[in-house]
Structure 1
Amino acid sequence: MNIKVMIAGCLALLLLSKASASTLRMAFNADPISLDPHEHLSEGTLQFSHLVFDPLLRWNKQGQFESRLATKWQRLDSRTIRFYLRQNVTFHSGNKFSANDVAYTINRLKISPDFRAMFDTIDSTSIIDDYTIDVHATTPNPLLLNIMTYVFPMDKTFYKDQDQIIKYGETFASRNVSGTGPFTLVSRELGSRMELKRSPAYWDTKSVGNVDQIILTPIRADSTRLAALLSGDVDFIFPISPIDIERTKRASGIQVVTLPSTRILLLHMNQNRREEFQDIRVRKAINLAINQSLIVEKIQKGYATPAGQLSSDRFLGYVKNLKPEYDLAKALELMKEAGYEKGFRISMMAPNNRYLNDEKIAQAISAMLARINITVDLKTLPKAQYFKEFNNKTADIMMLGWLSDTMDSNNLFEFIIACQDVETGFGAYNASEYCNHSIDENIKQANREMNPERRIRLLQQIEQAVYNDSVVVPLYWQQLTWAAKNKVRIQDIVNDQNYPYLGDLVIEDE
């Protein structure tokens, strides 16, 4: 009897192995702008990095750190963590992975315009041996491990002497890639198609993932993307328009997975471009004239949470009593007090395929501002074109979504609120061009404060100051919604940061 059971088990394993190789056809609303993992600090870049590279460590669904290229780590003191690296790992080029690649990657992150604000807090690395490396912070650093989730080791030999970082530029690193991740890049037509195949030398042989090939087709229009899933042309899509979620849930053979997220959507008001925005009464009036709850109810159909601050309630900087306010009468009164009763005309730009319903939301905001006599000349652009304009601060008001990958308020503050500093990377996404040096000092102090209670007070003080000064217009924290065929077990690999771990995805036999 035992022999029969053993034989049956072996046959089952053979059948499983024969069925293991699967192709995933997915349609997302956009694809990564560049192959360089350090060119853009964006969701698309980090999604791509989790496919082709591997991080030292990553977040699991319980919000805990999970080992990847670092098998374990040890805090030596308040400034230093020692990482023990995985052995017998090769890059897609065939080069061996070692501590030299980690040191090289961290040094490159320190000079990246988009990442240096975080990595400016890293002083140096010390290579102990081929598979042991110490990372030293400039000061005591409570977020050193969190920051290391951004380290996707690059192939030092492959990129050597051709690793220049140019935003929206044509470089070797923006067109070529060698990582240690589960997939290798086969072909790429920007904005049209990307094909990847599973790396035969991938180190994680314990992964249950059975996807052998990925074909990504970026589809901008929500209705077209959903139609592709319902017709069977693709297996997995993101996002789904809120207006279509209930219909999708009722579709035969389709599953919908929704998770709350800490991604905040907000508006920047450029104080250097517009003298009016230098007046706190005008900034406050704009905040009061925009009805976040109505946007969430009517446009997002409840699949978001109205925001009155940047920090979500999962972050240490969250201040419980800072709620979204809508008061049109008070907004008109403030405009009159500021001398702008008759209003003025401004320019506004937003993407039309980056955030869920971004174009509709921008149009609704334009209509809301018209009620306080601010005429908005709105222009929307596809993601790839929009962020070039955002980088140049082309419009008076610009839309931005931000997810703190360190799962900490200070990531929001140092990138979005801090005074712009090219050398440190502070304020890299501060399109308001707002600058408050006392806030900056608190941001820097929070980056080195090891006492949890004092750090909470610092972060909440920053959040309150940003609110008091009406620096930006927080809109909402979005929910993430994916849909897939029932055979695609996306519930196991999606997360609230929207970096699906596709290397671990299982597609069941039909």
Structure 2
Amino acid sequence: MKLTTKMKTLTLAIAMSFSLQAADLTIAYDSDPVSMDPMEQLSGATLQMSHLLFDPLVRTNSQLEYVPRLAERWEKVSPTVTRFYLRQGVKFHSGNDMTADDVIWSFNRYRESGDFKAVFEPYAEMVKVDDHTVELIAKAPYPLVLANATYLFVMDSKFYTGQSEDGKAKDAIEKNTGSFASTNVSGTGVFKLKSRQQGVELVLEKNPDYWGESGNVENVKWVPIKENATRLAALLSGGVDLISPVAPTDLDRVEQSDNHHLLTLPSDRIITVQLNQKVVPEFKDVRVRQAVIHAINNEGIVDKIMRGFATPAGQNSPVGYAGHDPSLTPRFDLDKAKALMKEAGYEDGFTVTMISPNDRYVNDEKIAQAIAAMLARINIKVELTTMPKAQYWPEFDKCENGIQLIGWSSDTGDSANYSEYLTMTRDAETGRGQYNCGHYSNPEMDALVNAANQETDAEKRAALLKQVSKIEYDDAAFVPLHWQNLSWGLANKVTNLKDYVNLKEFPLLGDLIIEE
């Protein structure tokens, strides 16, 4: 049999994994996941954790191509039905076999999650064909089935069934309560949970029964280090092997180190500010919202605070995504901002509260401080509170502050997802607008997003999403700041991270090769 290039690469990787000695990896992120439950919170840290302890049906590789995971292949049975053929012989950490029943149980649990239900809202059901085949049935022809499948991490239904010692259901999805699922793990992932102290360290060990090939990392220690300087010092001193993010001011120091190297990528994560119309009546006036956008110099933030390591944003859709409109550019204009405030009758301004994390996004606290200073120039007095991510998300979910900062990366590699979560009318039943704490609502825009999500013609879909972008822009539905770049600092012994990461920022650490 003639070996293809991909087969040769895989064969080489497997040979290397056998020839290299088992190694340990210590990583330092700016924060740690709030839970071990992959369905509790739709956040980057949760998804990073999920790729280590669980497996999705499908995942994207470094080139953003869809590749098999727990589903070894798939096919379109009809315009609304996709059939997934599951791997056989896969075991959970508990020792239980993974079957179609676990996939369907996981799918149904996702649909009960406040954070994830919007991802799976387009589907009517998932049905069992046999023990290793399932069909995902959409309510209407839907163009993003595989994208959604990358978010379907499969949990051990038997392990999570029944009651825990406190008498609560083991499968309960509860935010910030220390539920059974948030502290106990049985996935199919390359690593198993060994120990965890939230805010201190997360320790993982290699799953000896892992179904697939992997690198030579035997143990992973995930240490949250909030301060940029401390995180960098830990890398340069050899205390950790990998850090993320590298602060824009520290990129050169990593590149200039003989023992380390830098990996950077553009991302689709937008950093935004929401203006809460329910808490601050003044924000119901589109002129006030537009004034805020014109008062914030997001290009200056990118230049001075991000040191150019970001891209100023004017809309929810990045370049290259369906829905991107090149005419919707940043619009800093202080004179116009003041004129709009005067026209709206708020020339003397008003006072608002603002919250921001201080360890979730690159320079998030400094960005929030800059925004507060910029808004003071149009007489909006900002009472700013910043806090660690573990405290921030519960506070964010209350939607009780006038201004709230949030970043978002598309869960589908598609611009509609930003609108679905950040600007569509809040709807607890469908999950739409789950993170829309601005309480912006526009039925016309909602209808356009829904229409786009049923349009399989790429050009027609892009045209619909461009209309969405224009409405968000004209209505000042949110305040776009910038697209955040990604960065990792690596010890030289970590040789192949570039092959196992993409703009989604979910490094597949189980595939890493460590050369001692």
TM-score (norm 1): 0.95
Of 174, 188, 191, the match for 1:183? 191
| Contact 2:64/2:502, CA 8 A, preserved across alignment | no
- C-alpha separation in 2, matches of 1:125 and 1:324: 43
Find the counterpart in structure 1 of residue 442 from structure 2: 436
1:133-170 deviation per Cα after TM superposition (whole angstroms, max 9, x unaligned): 11101111111111111001110111113201112223
Find the counterpart in structure 2 of residue 312 from structure 1: 318
Matched, 1:89 2:90: yes
**Aligned-residue offset at 1:422:** 0.7
**Aligned-residue offset at 1:19:** 3.8
Find the counterpart in structure 1 of residue 275 from structure 2: 269
Of 313, 317, 331, the match for 1:325? 331
Instruction: Name the SS of the counterpart of 1:217 in structure 2.
Output: strand
Instruction: Name the SS of the counterpart of 1:213 in structure 2.
Output: strand
Of 253, 268, 281, the match for 2:259? 253
Find the counterpart in structure 2 of residue 63 from structure 1: 64
Find the counterpart in structure 2 of residue 381 from structure 1: 387
Give the residue type in structure 2 aligned to 1:453: E
Of 352, 360, 369, the match for 1:346? 352
**Aligned-residue offset at 1:491:** 2.1
Find the counterpart in structure 2 of residue 105 from structure 1: 106
1:299-328 deviation per Cα after TM superposition (whole angstroms, max 9, x unaligned): 101110000001101210101111101100
Aligned-residue RMSD, C-alpha? 1.2
**Aligned-residue offset at 1:493:** 2.1
Give the residue type in structure 2 aligned to 1:145: L
Instruction: Name the SS of the counterpart of 2:359 in structure 1.
Output: coil
1:6-405 aligned at under 5 Å gives the runs 17=18, 19-161=20-162, 162-205=170-213, 207=214, 209-405=215-411
Find the counterpart in structure 2 of residue 5 from structure 1: none
- C-alpha separation in 2, matches of 1:276 and 1:202: 56
- C-alpha separation in 1, matches of 2:61 and 2:324: 23
- C-alpha separation in 2, matches of 1:438 and 1:417: 12
Give the residue type in structure 1 aligned to 2:147: N
Matched, 1:459 2:465: yes
- C-alpha separation in 2, matches of 1:443 and 1:14: 48
- C-alpha separation in 2, matches of 1:443 and 1:16: 46
1:270-303 deviation per Cα after TM superposition (whole angstroms, max 9, x unaligned): 0011111011110000000000110001010111
**Aligned-residue offset at 1:467:** 0.4
Give the residue type in structure 2 aligned to 1:65: Y
1:211-256 deviation per Cα after TM superposition (whole angstroms, max 9, x unaligned): 0000111001000000000111100000111011112211121100
Instruction: Name the SS of the counterpart of 1:156 in structure 2.
Output: coil
- C-alpha separation in 1, matches of 2:43 and 2:286: 30
- C-alpha separation in 1, matches of 2:139 and 2:317: 26
Unaligned runs of 5+ in 2: 1-13, 163-169
Give the residue type in structure 2 aligned to 1:379: T
Give the residue type in structure 2 aligned to 1:449: E
**Aligned-residue offset at 1:17:** 4.0
Instruction: Name the SS of the counterpart of 1:75 in structure 2.
Output: strand
Instruction: Name the SS of the counterpart of 2:501 in structure 1.
Output: coil
| Contact 2:61/2:501, CA 8 A, preserved across alignment | no
* Paired positions, count: 495
1:25-71 deviation per Cα after TM superposition (whole angstroms, max 9, x unaligned): 11101111011111100001100000000011111121210111101
Matched, 1:496 2:497: no
Judge which range, 246-255 or 372-381, deviates more.
246-255
- C-alpha separation in 2, matches of 1:262 and 1:15: 33
Instruction: Name the SS of the counterpart of 2:445 in structure 1.
Output: helix
Find the counterpart in structure 1 of residue 484 from structure 2: 478
| Contact 2:53/2:187, CA 8 A, preserved across alignment | yes
**Aligned-residue offset at 1:449:** 1.1
Identical pairs, percent: 48
Find the counterpart in structure 2 of residue 10 from structure 1: none
**Aligned-residue offset at 1:14:** 10
Give the residue type in structure 2 aligned to 1:223: A
- C-alpha separation in 1, matches of 2:451 and 2:17: 54
**Aligned-residue offset at 1:122:** 1.2
Unaligned runs of 5+ in 1: 1-12
- C-alpha separation in 1, matches of 2:353 and 2:411: 31
- C-alpha separation in 2, matches of 1:91 and 1:41: 23
Give the residue type in structure 1 aligned to 2:499: D
Judge which range, 281-290 or 121-130, deviates more.
121-130
Judge which range, 189-198 or 124-133, deviates more.
124-133
- C-alpha separation in 1, matches of 2:132 and 2:120: 22
1:458-488 deviation per Cα after TM superposition (whole angstroms, max 9, x unaligned): 1111111000100100000010000011110
| Contact 2:452/2:461, CA 8 A, preserved across alignment | yes
Give the residue type in structure 1 aligned to 2:129: I
Judge which range, 295-304 or 158-167, deviates more.
158-167
Give the residue type in structure 2 aligned to 1:178: S
**Aligned-residue offset at 1:126:** 1.7
Q: Evaluate the alpha carbon distance shift between residue 16 and residue 425 of structure 1 in structure 2; reply closer, same or farther with a 3 A threshold.
A: closer
